[in-house]
Amino acid sequence: MKIAISSQGQELTSNVDSRFGRAPYFIIYDTESEKTDVVANEQNINARQGAGIQAARNVAAAHPDIVVAGNIGPKAFQVLSAAKIKAVLWADGTVSQAIELVRNNKLKATDGANVEGHWV
């Protein structure tokens, strides 16, 4: 399984970012190979609009099964759903904690966005 986590930094010890579209990085973790990739999201941090959509497209290109972020807007959620990627809302710790929670089925997928579009 591949997990994409919105992150404030590039390490597994980095905190999960509460934002999806404007998170500085996404950590992509493969539970089978235990390989980690980092996807920079700097082009969307200060975007006037469309940050969620573009971030969702960039993340979808890595083919994760699940995305973990503190908040996900409606357009980003729609892109993730169309790509058959589950979204989990959680930002109460580190990337490595998020990975373990997903591995142990402790986080539930959401059935929709939890913030309005253009939320910062």
Residue 70 domain-assigned (yes or no): yes
Output the six-digit token pair for 19: 């934002």
Is the whole model's pTM more than 0.95, yes or no?
A: no
CB contact burial 17-28 (16+ within 10 A = b; e otherwise): bbbbbbbbbbbb
| 24: amino acid identity, one letter | P
Residue 9 domain-assigned (yes or no): yes
Number of domains into which the chain is organized: 1
Residue 41 domain-assigned (yes or no): yes
Cα–Cα distances (Å) from 23 to 17, 31, 32, 106, in that order, read: 6, 22, 25, 23
Q: What is the CATH number of the domain that holds 21?
A: 3.30.420.130
Weakest-pLDDT range from 3-7, 56-60, 90-94, 110-114: 110-114
Residue 117 domain-assigned (yes or no): no
Q: Which domain does 89 fall in, by range?
A: 2-103
pLDDT tens-digit readout, 47-91 = 666 688 999 999 999 999 999 999 999 999 999 999 999 999 999
Cα–Cα distance, 85 to 54 (Å, whole number): 15
